[in-house]
Structure 1
Amino acid sequence: MDIGDMRRDFESEGLDRDALNDDPVAQFHHWFEDARQAGILEPNAMSLATTGTDGMPDIRTVLLKYFDQTGFVFYTNYGSRKARELDENPRAALLFPWIGLNRQVRIQGRVEKVSKTESLRYFASRPRGSQIGAWVSEQSKAITSRGLLEQKVAEIRRKFSDGEVPLPSFWGGYRVVPERIEFWQGRPSRLHDRFEYVRQDDGWLIQRLQP
């Protein structure tokens, strides 16, 4: 299969500095709402890139669950591969690929764990099946069969059959505190519009990047 000729021109309106909010989180909120209203499937799906002490980059898709001026929050098992890499190197990159709108957002920053209160609040809002799944999976570890997972599900369902499913001690959230955010708008002939926000002591430096 020859995929070298697979291409399309990005027919979309341009992105000008005057159209950007001075606050990148407010700008992200605007684009996020555009993606949601346009019917983009899972607009909160984001690629999360991490690197441990071995220097090997790692990437996977996770779901953004909350964002505000303090950062962008996702949840996971604290024993997972991503968690181990974040323990070793608490920095990460995020990518939101809103291809249907010819847009993407890239975020880089340091990472910190959210408070237990925040994790508990979100965990309590999850469907019961997802709560049980958090207890069952030793994320990223090898397993010999799916049957073992299903057996563990049955055990956890019995264990918590009489009440609420508590927050596991090994599960919780991370916050990516942005230091750099880029908004990318596809344009014809690959002359895309790119604007980068870089955190400064007194605010954000905004600059246009070449495509």
Structure 2
Amino acid sequence: MTPAEIEAHFTRSDGTYLCARWGRPIVPVVFGVNDETLPVIKGAIEAVALLAAHSTAETDPELGANLMMFFMRDWDELLALPDLSRMIPELEPLVARLKAVDANQYRLFRFEPDGAIRAAFVFLRMDAHLDAVPADALALGQAVQTILLWSETAFRERSALAAGPDGEVILRPEIGALIRAAYDPVLPGAAQDASHALRLSARMQQG
């Protein structure tokens, strides 16, 4: 992966560069799935955190849970959750926007004072497209997309996932290497200068 390709993964559609990683252990909680699917999702989150040499935990002393994943059939279901509008004051206009563009997923992040990720909300509307995705692939894809603050266009042309030699779903090796590099403790928790991509590239080559 060239420095330019790395930079593109964190360059937003308005041309600004922003890469951020989690600044605290990840504490996931999942709503709207059955008991069989829950371990698949949490297992994927733990596996990607392990890849990044980052930690997960049972509770966040300040927030309780800091990665909240919601699975639903209709966006209006979010408005019926009594405490969610308190955590996300912009919930009503957000739901209206998601319905207007017929979106099936959305991720919302909150940040520490230094710009690192503090919390994330993942919303998945299980339409026909997402229903067709195997649970392990869906879980791994969402875990990858929440371990860092990627550009909204990062995986538009090419998925972060690939088929393994036995047909299983795996993370593309170069994306795994990029995640590991971004969690190098020498690097900052968040960066807004595109030169950060050069530092990521150097660490990927060392790895």
State the structure with bigger RCO (CA 8 A, min sep 6), 1 or 2.
2
Bigger proportion of residues as strand: 1
Bigger proportion of residues as helix: 2
TM-score (norm 2): 0.27
Structure of greater Rg: 1
